[in-house]
Amino acid sequence: MRPEEYDVWLFDLDGTIVDCEPTYARGVFDRTGERLGYEFSDREIEDLWHGLTGTRNDHLRACGIDPERFWEVFHEEEDPAKRAAASYVYDDARRLIDRLREANVPLGVVTHCAAFLAYPVIERLEIDDWFDAFLACDEATGYKPDPAPVRQVLEELGFAGDVDGVLLGDGESDVGAAWNAGLDAVHVERHGYARRGRCVRADYRVPDFEELRGVASPTPPEFNAASEAREPGDAVSGPD
């Protein structure tokens, strides 16, 4: 895929461009679990942090945890400065975005990461100037796979109506948001489909962004799109 193949490139943030050291997530979940009376296993933490089991709220309900209360406590236990200090940029994402910036391609981010957490991360990592538009979703904007936040960013970038664009992300909701907004979708599977337990259908499926240098393959038709069955209300505001 060459930069000029699309008029605009949009990205998810967590798990796509940046990630966080596991020790930080462990600490937040330990403190949250202590307040909620639940002990999270390492696997549950990885599943919930990266959204590997699909809708996080469904996962929480299966554990007997009220999602609304969980996210309230979880965000209270988050520390923006510590999270930023524990965050890093994926090398393959840096290289891809460098290529896009050299080509002067409009770039935007649509993330479920709350604004009070997202902005300290991109500022500390000194990547806040990479993007021409940056949106941290909230109740007012809506959440992916609802296309509303994607369209908001497109409008901020000067695109209205049909646009030849692409959205890259690590979650099913990213694919759903792209398709709902009329964009192509790239799903980056950084944990392996065996670990996720299923394949996510997208226009392109890659293990990292190095694959976009020309060897990415369209999704075979036999794979089911979990995101196609999702409704906008299924999206959640946890780390994506």
Does the pLDDT value for residue 214 go beyond 60?
no
Residue in the structure block whose two tokens are 């895929």: 1
Look at residue 218 in the predicted model and tell me its pLDDT.
45
Which two structure tokens, joined as six digits, stand for 162?
A: 């049909």
pLDDT digit string, tens, across residues 132-188: 999 999 999 999 999 999 999 999 999 988 899 999 999 889 999 999 999 999 999
| C-alpha to C-alpha distance for 182 and 120, rounded to whole angstroms | 31
- For the ranges 22-26, 50-54, 200-204, the one whose mean pLDDT is highest: 22-26
The vertex-87 CA angle with 239 and 35, nearest 5°, equals 50
pLDDT-based confidence at 23, cuts 50/70/90? very high
| Residue 226 pLDDT class (50, 70, 90 cuts) | very low
Render pLDDT for 58-81 as a digit per residue (tens, 0 to 9). 999 999 999 999 999 999 999 999
Fold of 3-19+87-234: Rossmann fold (3.40.50)
Give percent of the chain above pLDDT 70: 85
Other Cβ atoms within 10 Å of 216 Cβ, number? 17
Helix axes of 22-36 and 67-77: crossing angle, nearest 10 degrees: 130
Sign of CA dihedral 162, 164, 165, 171: positive
pLDDT at 3: 64
Picking from 7, 9, 48, 49, the residue whose alpha carbon sits closest to that of residue 163 is 7
What pLDDT band is residue 17 in, cutting at 50, 70 and 90? very high
pTM: predicted TM-score of the whole model, two decimal places: 0.85
Is the pLDDT assigned to residue 209 strictly greater than 80?
Answer: yes
